[in-house]
Amino acid sequence: MKTTLLTLAILILSTLLFAQRAQLLGMVQEHPGNSPLPSVTVTLKDASAKLIAAAITNDQGIYQLDGIPTGSFVLTYSFTGFETFTKAIEITSSKSINLNAVALKPDARLLSEVTVIGERAALSLKPGKKVFEVGKDIVGQAGSITDLLNVVPSVSVSPGGGISLRGNSSVLVLIDGRRSGLTQSNALEQIPADRVERVEIISNPSSKYDASGSAGIINIILKKDKKSGFSGQLRAVAGSPNDTRLNSSLNYKSDNLDLFATYGIRKTDYVGLYRLQQRFNPLEAGELNRRQDEQRHDDGKLLYFGIDYQVNAKNTVTAAFLRNATDDHDKTQLRYLYSNKDGAIDSSLNRNGESWEQRNYNQVEFNYTRNFNTSGKKLTVDMQYDFWNSNKDWNLSTERNLPTNILLPIVRTGARGATKDLIVQTDLTLPIDSNAGFAFGLKMDNRSVRSHFIAEQEQGGLWDIIDQIDNRLIYKELIGTAYIEFSSKSGRLSYQAGLRNELTQIGIEESGGEYASTKNYNRLFPTLSLNYNFSKGVTLQGSYSKRINRPSLNLIYPFNELTDLTTRFMGNPDLNPSYADVFELSFLQNWNSFTFNPSVYFQNNRDVIKEYTYRNSDNLFITLPVNIDHETRQGIELLLQYKPVKWLQMATEINAYRYSQRGIYHGQDFTYTDNTITGRMNTQVKLKNKLAFQAIYNFIGVNATAQTRNTAIHSIDVGASKTFLKDRITLLFDASNIFELRKFESRTIGADYVIRQSNIPNATRYRMTLIYKLNLKNNQSVRQAKSGNRG
pLDDT at 587 over 90: yes
Confidence of residue 609 (pLDDT cuts 50, 70, 90): very high
Asked if residues 694 and 732 have their Cβ atoms less than 8 Å apart, the reply is no
- CA proximity to 303, closest of 237, 360, 239: 360
For 663-760, list the strands marked E by DSSP.
664-665, 668-669, 672-687, 691-700, 703-704, 708-710, 713-724, 729-736, 744-749, 753-760
**Over 60: is that where the pLDDT of 711 sits?**
yes
Report the mean per-residue pLDDT for the chain: 83
**Which tops the pLDDT comparison, 781 or 539?**
539
Say yes or no to pLDDT of 8 above 80: no
Q: Are 61 and 49 in contact (CB under 8 A)?
A: no
What is the DSSP annotation of 547-576? EEEPPPHHHH-------SSSEEE---TT--
Top pLDDT among 789 and 222 is at 222
For residues 91-127, b (16+ Cβ closer than 10 Å) or e, as one string? Answer: beebeebbbebbbbebbeeebeeeeeeeeeebbbbeb
Which of the 8 DSSP states describes residue 711?
Answer: P
pLDDT band (50, 70, 90) for residue 119: very low
Q: Which residues contact 564 (CB under 8 A, 6 or more apart)?
A: 290, 292, 334
Task: Judge contact between 40 and 78, C-beta under 8 A.
Answer: yes
- Read off the pLDDT of each residue in 194-202 and give the average, rounded to a whole number: 79
pLDDT of residue 305 exceeding 70: yes
pLDDT value of position 187: 60
Quick one: average pLDDT of 747-757? 89
- Which residue blocks in 75-226 are alpha helix, DSSP H? 108-113, 139-142, 145-149
Q: How confident is the model at residue 149 (pLDDT cuts 50, 70, 90)?
A: confident
For residue 791, is pLDDT > 60?
A: no
Task: Identify the pLDDT of residue 71.
Answer: 85
Domain boundaries, the chain: 2-113, 229-284+300-345+359-790
pLDDT average, residue stretch 88-95: 81
Q: What are phi and psi of 623, to 5 degrees?
A: -110, 125
Between CA 422 and CA 427, with CA 423 as vertex, the angle to 5 degrees is 160
Query: Is the domain defined by 229-284+300-345+359-790 classed in CATH 3.40.50.261?
Result: no
pLDDT at position 167 is 65
Q: How confident is the model at residue 454 (pLDDT cuts 50, 70, 90)?
A: very high
End-to-end distance of the chain based on CA atoms, in angstroms?
62
Task: Check residue 81 and give left, alpha or beta (phi > 0: left; psi -120 to 50: alpha).
Answer: left
CA distance 142 to 278: 41
pLDDT digits (tens, 9 = 90+) for 477-529: 999 999 999 999 888 898 899 999 999 999 988 877 677 888 898 999 999 99
Q: Alpha-carbon distance 153 to 165, whole Å?
A: 9
Class of domain 2-113: mainly beta
Q: How far apart are CA 562 and CA 413, in angstroms?
A: 8
C-alpha separations of 280 from 339, 603, 704, 711, 746 in Å: 11, 38, 21, 22, 17
Mean pLDDT calculated for residue range 722-735 = 84
